[in-house]
Amino acid sequence: VFSWGSFHNAAPAVKKSRVFYGSLEEKERERLSSEAASSAASGSDAVKAGIEAGNINISSGETLEMEERVSERQQEALAAFERRRRARQITVSTDDAEVKAGLRALGEPITLFGEGPADRRERLRSVLSVVGPDALKKSRRDEERAKRSQDECQQTWYHEGSASLKDARLWLAKYSLPRAMRRLEAARAQRDVTEATRTIRQQELHKSLRNLNNFCSQIGDDRPISFCHFSADSKMLATASWSGLCKLWSVPDCNLIRTLRGHNTNVGAVVFRPQAGVSLDQSDVNLASCAADGSVKLWNLESDEPVADIEGHSERVSRVSWHPSGRFLGTTSYDRSWRLWDLEVQEEILHQEGHSKGVHDIHFHPDGSLAATGGLDSFGRVWDLRTGRCVVFLEGHLKEIYSLHFSPNGYHLATGSGDNTCKVWELRNRKCLYTVPAHQNLLSAVRFQPTDGHFLLTGAYDNTAKVWSHPGWTPLKTLAGHEGKVMGVDVSPDGKLIATCSYDRTFKLWLSE
C-alpha cells in the first residue's frame, strides 16, 4: 500500500465535465449588489432574532462524540468482511451427509425449514468461519485418541468359555503330550548320529537342492492362483484361485482331478486334512477352504460341491489350517481374531482376540500343542491351545506377517513379512535366532522341509521362491521362472517336490534331478 496523500498534492486535478450555458456576468452582478444591500440593512439583527427564536443554534464549545461511534461501526463492518473472507477460504464437503454430520458435531440444527443442500453447506461454512475450521477435525481426532488410549491401556483379561472348550483342551493336552515325548526321544536318538554322517547327509541334501529344476508348469485357472497345498500322500495338489474355484491336481503328471465349486470370491487357502489320502475315507471331510467374503467350506474327495459351510465370519478369512489331529480347524479373520472350530461337536469353540489388526496366517505346532498366528500388526503370537494363553510374543518385524511355519523339530518357527525378511525364531529361549534378508519384495509364504526341517522355502512377490539351508541360512537355490508374484509355496510331505503358485495363473513343480 502506498501513501495516497503525498501523491495527491502533486497530481493534477481530475478533469470535471462542464456545461456552459452562456455568460452569467450580468446576473451575478445583480445578485451581489442585492446581497450587499440586504446584509447592510438587517444582517446581525436577523441572526439575533433567529438565535432567540431557537432557529439558529450555536454550541458553546461542547462537541458530540461522532468519531467513536463511526469507528465502531467501521470495525464491525471490517470484521464482517474478514469473516466473509475466511469463509471463502474454508473448504466444505459437497457431500450432504457430511455437511449434516458437521453441523451436528458443531451443535447446530442439521437442517432448517426449506433449506437445501447448498444452503446447508453455506450455513456450515458461515458457522465454521466463526468457530474456526479446526473445530471439526479436533473433535474427530479426540474421539480417535480416546478410543486408542482405551485400547492401549487395556489390560489382559479373561472370560469363561463354554464347557466344550475345556473338553477340547483336555483332549488336546492328551493328544499333544505323548507326541511331544516321542518327538523329543527321536531328537535324542538323532543326536547319537555321528557328526560325519550328519555332514554327509547335509551335503547330499544341499547338492540335491542345488540341482532343483522346474519340472512342470501348469496353467491353473484364469485368475491368479493364491494357494497350493500337497496332500499327505504327495499324490495330489490342491490349488485355490481368485476366481473362487479350487482345483485338485494329480502329482506329478499335473492332470486335473476335480474342480471344487463353491466360493464366489477370491479363495485365500485350500488345505488338505492331515490324514487325507492316507487313513481318511474319500467321503469324509478331506479339505477346507476359505474366501475373502468370510465363507469357509469343507470338501470331500468325491463331489465338487462343499460338504459343509462354516458360518460365523463377517470379514475376510485369509487362511485356514488343520490341527495335526484333524479334529480342529483354525481360521484367521481380518476382524482381528482367529477361531478354532471343533469338527466333532461342529461348533466354534474358541474366538481368540489379541492382535490389534487383522490376523493373516495361522499354523499349528507339529505336536498339536501350540498355534502360531501372525497378523497385519506385524507381531506374531504363539498360543498354548491347552491353557488358551499367549505364551510367546514375536516382536521384531517392521511390517505385516504374512506367513508362519513351525519346523518339524518343534522349536523353530519361521515368519515371513512385508519388510522383505524372514525371521527364524527359537521357541525354547523365545528369541529371534536369525533374520534372513530373503527377497526384494514382501514374503508371501514360508515353509520348512516337512520331513526333518533341514531347509527353508520362501516365496515372495519378487517373482521368485528361494531355498535356504537351515540352519546356516545360505541361499541354496533361487527358483525363478514365474512371471508374476509368487503367492504360495509348498513342499510335498515326502520332501521330493516343491510347488509354487503365482499371480501369473500358473503353478509350477520343482524337482531335484
Partner 1 sequence: MSDTGRMEELRPWVERTVKKVLGFSEPTVVTAALHCVGKGLDKRKTIDQLRPFLDDSAGGFVERLFEALEESRSARGNKGGGEKHRKRDLKVKAPEPGDGTVAKRKRVPRFEEVEEPEVIPGPPSESPGMLTKMQIKQMMEAATKQIEERKKQLMSRLLGTPAAAAASGGSSIAPSQAASFMNDAIEKARKAAELQARIQSQLAMKPGILGALGNTGPHNLVALANLHAMGIAPPKVEAKEVNKPTPLILDDKGRTVDASGKEVELTHRMPTLKANIRAVKREQFRQQLKEKPGEDLESTSYFDQRVFITPAQRPRRAFKFHDQGRFEKIAQRIRTKAQLERLQCEIAQAAKKTGIQASTKLALIAPKKEIGEGEVPHIEWWDSFILTPDTKFEGMELFGVTNLVEHPAQISPPVDTDKPVTLGVYLTKKEQKKLRRQTRREGQKEVQEKVRLGLMPPPEPKVRISNLMRVLGTEAVQDPTKVEAHVRAQMAKRQKAHEEANAARKLTAEQRKEKKVKKLKEDLINGVHVSVYRIRNLQNPAKKFKVEANANQLYLTGTVVLHRDVNLVVVEGGPKSQKKFKKLMLHRIKWEEHNSKRDDPDGDDDTKRNNKCWLIWEGTTKERSFGEMKFKQCPTENMAREHFKKHGTEHYWDLALSKSVLDGCTDD
Least CB distance to partner 1 at residue 16 (A)? 9
Instruction: Closer to partner 1 by CB, 235 or 399: give it.
Output: 399
Cell of 411: 522349536
CA atoms within 13 A on the CB side of 471: 10
Q: Which residue has the cell 514374503?
A: 443
- DSSP annotation of 155 reads P
**To the nearest whole angstrom, how small is the minimum distance from the Cβ of residue 130 to partner 1?**
18
| DSSP structural state of residue 391 | E
Q: In whole angstroms, what is the distance from residue 350 CA to residue 44 CA?
A: 113
Q: Closest CB to partner 1 among 10 and 58? A: 10
Phi-psi region of 313 (alpha: psi -120 to 50; beta: other; left: phi over 0): beta
CB of 227 to partner 1, least distance (A): 24
Cis peptide bond prior to 133, omega within 30° of 0? no
CA 399/CA 445 separation, integer angstroms: 15
**Which CB, 18 or 27, lies closer to partner 1?**
18
- Nearest residue (CB) to partner 1, 119 versus 353: 353
CA distances from 11 to 3, 296, 463 (A): 13, 89, 79
Of the two residues 291 and 371, which places its CB atom closer to partner 1 in the complex?
371
CB of 308 to partner 1, least distance (A): 25
In the complex, the smallest distance separating the C-beta of residue 36 from partner 1, rounded to whole angstroms, is: 34
Nearer to partner 1, 258 or 399 (CB): 399
- Locus of grid cell 454430520: 101
Shortest spacing between CB 64 and partner 1, in angstroms: 18
Instruction: Specify the residue, 8 or 27, whose C-beta has the smaller distance to partner 1.
Output: 8
Task: Give the integer Cα–Cα distance in Å for 453 and 469.
Answer: 9
Contacts of 48 (CB under 8 A, 6+ apart): none
Kindly tell me which of 286 and 420 has the beta carbon lying closer to partner 1. 420
Choose between 440 and 451: whose C-beta lies nearer to partner 1. Answer: 440
CB of 203 to partner 1, least distance (A): 4
Least distance from C-beta 243 to partner 1, angstroms? 29
CA dihedral 186, 191, 192, 197 (to 10 degrees): 110
Neighbours of 477 (CB within 10 A): 22
Shortest separation between residue 362's beta carbon and partner 1, angstroms:
16
CB 466, CB 438: distance < 8 Å: yes
Q: Which is nearer to partner 1, 76 or 119 (CB)?
A: 76
Could you tell me how far CA 252 lies from the centroid of its own chain? 38
Q: What are phi and psi of 507, to 5 degrees?
A: -125, 150
Read off the C-alpha cell for 454.
Answer: 533341514
| Min dist. Cβ of residue 468 to partner 1 (A) | 10
Pick the closer one to partner 1 by CB: 113 or 158: 158
Region of residue 506 (phi > 0: left; psi between -120 and 50: alpha; otherwise: beta)? beta
Phi, psi (5° rounding) for residue 146? -60, -40
Angle at the Cα of 404 from the Cα atoms of 398 and 406, rounded to 5 degrees? 130
**Sequence-separated (6 or more) residues with CB below 8 Å from residue 32:** none
d(CA 504, CA 195): 44
Q: What is the CA radius of gyration of the chain?
A: 42
We find the least distance from the C-beta atom of residue 95 to partner 1, in angstroms, to be 15
Comparison of 180 and 308: residue with beta carbon closer to partner 1: 180
CB 377 within 8 A of CB 417: no
DSSP 313-366: --S-EEEEEE-TTSSEEEEEETTTEEEEEETTTTEEEEEEE--SS-EEEEEE-T
Residue type, position 30, single letter: E
Smallest distance from partner 1 to CB 340, Å: 10
- Least distance between partner 1 and beta carbon 113 (Å): 29
Q: At 268, list the grid cell.
A: 485365500
Identity of the residue, 279 or 387, whose beta carbon is nearer to partner 1 in the bound complex: 387
